[in-house]
A and B are shown apart, each in its own frame.
Chain A
Amino acid sequence: SQKIEQNSEALNIQEGKTATLTCNYTNYSPAYLQWYRQDPGRGPVFLLLIRENEKEKRKERLKVTFDTTLKQSLFHITASQPADSATYLCALDPGNTDKLIFGTGTRLQVFP
C-alpha cells in the first residue's frame, strides 16, 4: 500500500541545536516533495519544495534533502529557535496535479 510516514513522536530540542525531521514514503514515485509548517488551529504554510533531480535545497536556516533510492526526505532547521516550534508536514504529489498527499506531521518543540 502507499504510505507517507513521519515520526509521530514529538521532537524536543534545545535552542541553537539542529532539528532533523524525517519523511519516508512507499509505493510512490513523486516528481517532487514539499515541506509545510503548521501552527495550532491554522492552515499549513509552504516552506520548501525539492524535485526528484535535486539532492539538496536550502532556504535561510532550512535545508531539505531528497533520496529517491531510499524514498526518504530529511528536513533540517539549523540554529533552532523557540519560534520554530510547530508541526512540520511533508507532502508529495503523486500525479503532478496539485493533489497533495500529506504525512501525519512531526511536532517540533524548541526550548530555551
Chain B
Amino acid sequence: DAGVTQSPTHLIKTRGQQVTLRCSPKSGHDTVSWYQQALGQGPQFIFQYYEEEERQRGNFPDRFSGHQFPNYSSELNVNALLLGDSALYLCASSLVGTGGTEAFFGQGTRLTVV
C-alpha cells in the first residue's frame, strides 16, 4: 500500500500564476482533505471532497478550488497566486462516516511563490 501520494514535491511559481497540486488517497479511502501549513504553524483546513463534491470548506478565498475524480484522487487549484500562498500543502485521506479515526497524510507539496 503506497499510502497517500502527492505531486509534485516542490514547486516554484511566480505571483499571479495558477498552480495545480495532485493527491492520490490511501487505498480504500474515499474522502480527501487539503490543508495549508505555513512555516512554524499547524496545518489549516482548506476543504474536503467526498463523492466528487466539496463537502466542507475552511476559511479560504475562492482562489482555492478543488476537484475529486471517480477514482477518489483529487486536485487543488490555486489561482492568482500571492506571495502569502507559499506554504506546504498537505493532502489527507480518510473514510467517510468514520469520524474519529486517524487521517493519513501525504508528504506534502512545498509551494514557493516568488
Contact = CB atoms under 8 A, between A and B. Distances in A.
A21 B104 CA distance: 22
Contacts of A105: 41-42
Contacts of B19: none
Interface residues of A, number: 28
Interface in A1-16: 4, 6
A100 interface: yes
Nearest to B96: A98
Contact of A45 (B33, B48, B100, B105): B105
A100 B43 contact: yes
Interface string A94-108: 011111111111000
Interface stretch (A36-44, A64-72, A74-82): A36-44
A86 to B, nearest CB: 14
B58 interface: yes
Interface residues of B, number: 31
Interface in A25-83: 31-32, 34, 36, 41-46, 49, 51
Interface string B77-90: 00000000000101
Nearest to B105: A43
Contacts of A84: none
B74 interface: no
B102 A46 contact: yes
Contacts of B33: 98-100
A73 B33 CA distance: 24
B65 interface: no
25 contacts: A6-B42, A32-B100, A34-B102, A41-B88, A41-B110, A43-B90, A43-B105, A43-B106, A45-B105, A46-B104, A49-B102, A51-B100, A89-B42, A95-B99, A96-B99, A97-B48, A97-B56, A98-B33, A98-B94, A98-B99, A99-B48, A99-B58, A100-B35, A100-B45, A105-B42
